[in-house]
Structure 1
Amino acid sequence: MLYSSSEALALFIVTFGILLQAWVGIGFGLLVAPLLYLIEPSYVPGPVLVLGWILSVIMVMKQRHGLNWRRVFPAIVARLPGSWCGVLLLVSISSCQLSFLFGAVLLVATWLSWRSYTLTITTKNMIVAGFFSGLMGTTTSIGGPPMALLYQRENRLVARNEIAAFFLVGTPLSIALVVFSRGFELLMFPFIMKMLPGVLGGVWLYSRLEMVAGNESVRGVVLILSALSAVGVLCQGMLGLF
């Protein structure tokens, strides 16, 4: 398979993004989507969604025996009405207004977490996080931070695996909404096939580094990524104004 210089750069970005998400549990969409959009707008959102979902499949298959599906199930269920509300908001409120709203809310939530105000993982909080993840994922393409903030003090592997299980079921819903609104051509299967080695390469690199990575929580990394997500969503709103 031959790659142009821009495709080779995109492949490197995908590989690094997959490595980051395999370690922390979030970060692939945040890092990869804006950079790939600068290289070729057709990479977003279809190929990015599919590639992220493939990683979730791999992570869940590797850790399926240790997953607490009962704990993450309420968030999975709550993502459906959250995504539906996101669709309704998209047709009733301008995208820049939504970006300002969710960017500000996420920034405040990250600041409160940094000030040591953290939520415990309960069924109620899972429902709230899953709902807002679906809402934000549908309206801004960044749905990971609400779940990551809830898991920020958990063991790194537990957080990563359960967030992967959440996206395993939730991402196909987002893909279905993309297909329903814009058609199958938006998935851009040729791009997906060319970027697939980046997913496999990122997972392979992580498997080499996993033996030296600790299992303690990566709270600092989660908060930094969440803050960057908030800034990115706010920037989306500012760009929408122009």
Structure 2
Amino acid sequence: MIAEHDLVPIVVLGLIIAFGALVQSVVGFGLAVVAVPFMVLIAPDLLPGAMLVTSLALPAWELISGPRDVDWQHWWWAIGGRVALMPVGVWLVAHASSSAIALIVGVLVLAGVAGSLWAVDLRPTPGGALAAGAITGISGTAASIGGPFLGLVLQHERASRIRSTLAMFFVVGAATALLGLAVGGQLRHDQIVVGLAWVPFVVAGSALAVPLRRRMPEAAMRRAVLVLAATAGAVVIVRAIVS
């Protein structure tokens, strides 16, 4: 339970999560990208379960309260890939070191950004969505980072479609990952309790994002997606090297 952890780090991480929720409310993803590197440094024992529990709140609220502009065709391909590779993520949590997981995820994220900037311009395709979902099945389960890959595939879509499709992807994907971790014996009770305790911070960050969302043009949306993905990749690689 929370009593088993120092309250100060939990609150500090809660404030970081609030900022991540603000970013995700504007861009469509970013909660885990912002928070996970700090969690690894401050409370690595809470990963990935606590972050997955927390990350369910914001996309669920997005789907309930906002426009549901989901790209179902590519969503089905993406979620199929995520569910298929989710057991690999569970295996990594049980057997691989956190440094190895961080390195794998960071390299994949930076490769996706490089492909978007310098190779063929990424557009939504069933194959791209399936590949993004498959990578996320590993990274989202093992490291709680699941937004950059499908976000890159959808980067040219309108802002409402990116947010809605990613929200549906996060809800189903995170719930599936939590189920897989629970079945594999890798989800602890204290992770669930702390994850639920962070939900009010998510609500606060989302509320602060409302005025920003109305002013952000779609060109800025794409740049934000690429910058966030690149930042996530760089941070986790540095973390893996340092540790």
Into which bin does the TM-score normalised by the smaller protein fall?
0.7 to 0.9
Aligned-partner SS, 1:132? helix
Q: Secondary structure at the match of 1:66?
A: coil
Residue 19 in structure 1 maps to residue 10 in structure 2: no
5+ residue gaps, structure 2, are 1-5
- Aligned residue pairs, count: 237
Q: Output one character per residue of 1:95-137: Cα deviation in whole Å (capped at 9) or x when no partner.
A: 5445434433332321231226322212222111111111222
Deviation, structure 1 residue 193:
4.1
**2 CA distance for matches of 1:21 and 1:197?**
15
2:66 maps to: 63
Please report the TM-score for the alignment, with normalisation by the length of structure 1.
0.84
Q: 1:178 to 1:235 in 2, by over 3 A?
A: farther
Matched letter for residue 145 of structure 1: P
Structure 1 position 185 matched with structure 2 position 192 = no
CA contact (8 A) 1:16 1:202 kept: yes
- In structure 2, give the amino acid aligned to 1:35: F
Structure-2 residue corresponding to 1:214: 217
| CA-to-aligned-CA distance 1:174-222 (integer Å, 9 cap, x gap) | 2123323234414241x23432221211222222333333345612111
Question: Residue 42 of structure 1 contacts residue 188 of structure 1 at CA under 8 Å; is this kept in 2?
Answer: no
The CA distance in 2 between the partners of 1:36 and 1:92, in whole Å, is 20
The one-letter code matched in structure 1 to 2:189 is E
What secondary structure sits across from 2:56 in the alignment?
helix
User: Match of 1:161, as an amino acid?
Assistant: S
Q: CA deviation at 1:146?
A: 1.1
Instruction: Determine if the alignment matches structure 1 residue 117 to structure 2 residue 95.
Output: no
Provide closer, same or farther for how the CA distance between residues 103 and 213 of structure 1 changes in structure 2, counting only shifts above 3 A: closer
> Bigger shift: 36-45 or 192-201?
36-45
Q: Which residue of 1 aligns with 2:85?
A: 82
Conservation of the 8 A alpha-carbon contact between 1:156 and 1:217 = no
Structure 1 unaligned segments of length 5 or more: list them: none
2:142 aligns with 139
In 2: Cα distance, 1:25 partner to 1:32 partner: 15
Whether the aligned pair in 2 keeps the contact of 1:153 and 1:218 (CA below 8 Å) is: no
Q: Is the 8 A contact 2:123 2:153 kept in 1?
A: yes
